[in-house]
Amino acid sequence: MTRPVVALISALALACGLLAACSDGVELSEPDPLATSLANGRWVDLTHTLSEDAVFWPTAPEYSHEEAAFGMTEGGYFYSSYNLHLSEHGGTHLDAPIHFAEGRQTADEVPLSSLIGPAAVLDVSQQANADRDYLVTVADIEAWEAAHGELADGTILLIRTGFDRYWPDRQGYLGTVLRGEEGVAGLNFPGIAEEAAHFLVEYRDLAAVGIDTASLDNGPSKDFQAHRILLGANVPGFENVANLGELPAIGAMVIALPTKVAGGSGAPLRIVANIPAARGK
């Protein structure tokens, strides 16, 4: 586990203690700065709600949430329970490295150091607004670094295309409402260029890469090079991320916890970010 992740987990524990102590009227001297930042910062939910309206890949089974029990029992108490049926790769979710790379990490093997860390938000929403199939380039990354500094080791890179504004409208979000292979043929949304994926794994040491579209690769992709390159280097992907427009380019901390599916190629993901009060957006 990397030092930034250990520090963040420790700070989260301290922040919880800080909040509890404050609520009990206990005075604390010189609290940990990171714990204070987390306690006073603003939390942003980067997760789309799973529902029957949630966007899934055109060839994936539709989501269902079936009632198993709901109501008063013979014992006089209320009880409800449901059965979930869903693809690993629908809604906001994790792409584990094994999704496109044999022998790489499965969903339960992805370490916390790949799921918790500092965020860098690369905004290509203007380019994506002009070109639905826009591919993030090395030049985009270099321009971001010229403004904010080189991407630090252990960074979670979040790519903002602005396409989350279409969710859950499939026509707007995916470029098609068709299902099956016909739907796959009609996909139109932004993604990451092959050269940019190579740059990120060869010259940077990222914890993970997330994007607010349905795929790391753009809609028309047939060879899924971004997936193959990033996941092949054990860099997991977060797809269908929401609300990246609420985050600053640097300064936020991300916690992205997937369901720990044994042997899974992916899993539903709850991803949140904390923005220090001093930084704002």
The catalytic site residues sit at 99
CB atoms within 10 A of CB 112: 17
Q: How do beta strands 93-95 and 64-72 pair?
A: unpaired
Torsion of CA 139, 143, 44, 224, to 10 degrees: 10
CB atoms within 10 A of CB 218: 26
Q: Amino acid identity, residue 249? A: A
Q: What is the DSSP letter of 55?
A: -
Cβ atoms 241, 44 nearer than 8 A: no
Tokens 């989501």 correspond to: 63
Ramachandran angles phi, psi of 62, nearest 5°? -70, 150
200 in the Ramachandran plot: left (φ > 0), alpha (ψ -120 to 50) or beta? alpha
- Find the farthest-apart pair of alpha carbons in the chain and give their distance in angstroms, rounded: 66
Both tokens of residue 104?
């790489």
Angle at 275 between CA 271 and CA 281, to 5 degrees: 110
